[in-house]
Amino acid sequence: MKKISKIYVAGHTGLIGSSIKRKLKELSYTQIITKTHRGLDLTSKKKVDRFFSKEKPEFVFLAAAKTGGIQANNAYPADFIYQNLMIQSNVIDAAHKYGAQKLLFLSSSCIYPKNCRQPMKEEHLMTGALEPTNEAYALAKLAGIGMCQSYNKQYGAKFICVVPSNVYGVNDNFSESGHVLASLIRKFHFAKMKSQKVLELWGTGKPRREFLFAENLAEACIKLMNNYDDSKVINVGSGRDTSIKQLAQIIKKITGYKGRIVYDRTKPDGNARRSLDGSKIRSLGWQPTTPLEEGVRKTYLWYMKHVSSDDPELRGGFS
């Protein structure tokens, strides 16, 4: 990418897309194209084609997606598979049709088999059954990878696919339907402000996840856009996994919650462990720079400044 290239960031208001947009600006890219959902419904092929026909972006970061945590994925599988299939199909096809030089598609580590060997290597894809609680979302993301690779094969497109580990950071979704780290930040803050003596969390606390600060992922995505053309997927992770119980203790410390944590073992855990082998991207010279505790602290400070005061459940006084 040149500094004056026309770059479209799809999903720029979300966790990953907003981080990519900020990083591009920091690096002095001057023609960044964005559209809110109100301004452009990416599930509408007609509207997406009209947008690409008019703007003709040279590079596309496809970070737009319907995302959520285990509760949301388990409760609304039809929404997750339909909306994600529509978004990625429309954007990938339009990028090809209207001459984009390159597209980067953001997938998810949940595309790997439930009982995958750890850490998960790119060649482990499609070697076993998916985790049932997020199968619909994973199937949509696998279809997006297949679509990029098919356009590469048939048309010679340069559409690359990135598989990040569990991403967190500023501008995340902190509701009950959000990803585990962000939703835990809200739970602990809520419990502290309400002086709750006990905080109940889903599952056993034993599952292990690899958490990646969104700013670090944005750096990796820009590096890959500039230096990676292989049609094979590439993992991007922090290189270290953490149990949910350990994560809860970190968030408890940072938020200042003084109560007791208990686990509801009747609720699902999801995958026992999900850790990525990041040797491919590290061979390109990328390394994550934000330790988990530092990233959680930055995320909590952002949440306190931008989100907590608008939470309807926290308005009306504290006990």
**Active-site positions?**
137
Token pair belonging to 107 = 């997938």
What sign does the dihedral 170-172-264-107 (CA atoms) show? negative
- Taking residue 291's Cβ as centre, other Cβ atoms within 10 Å add up to 12
**Which residue from 106, 14, 19, 26 is spatially nearest to 60, judged by alpha carbons?**
106
CA-wise closest residue to 226 among 62, 108, 59: 59
Please return the burial class of 311, using the count of CB atoms within 10 Å of its CB with bins 0-12, 13-18 and 19+. middle
Burial class (CB in 10 A: 0-12, 13-18, 19+), 207: buried
Residues linked to residue 62 through DSSP beta bridges, in sequence order: 10, 105
Distance CA 136, CA 120 (A): 20
Residue 238 CA to residue 275 CA, distance in Å, equals 9
Sign (positive or negative) of CA dihedral 194, 199, 201, 206: positive
CA-atom Rg of the chain in angstroms? 19
Query: How far apart are alpha carbons 17 and 106 in whole angstroms?
Result: 10
Six token digits for residue 195: 């002086």
Upper half-sphere CA count for residue 235 (Cβ side, 13 Å): 27
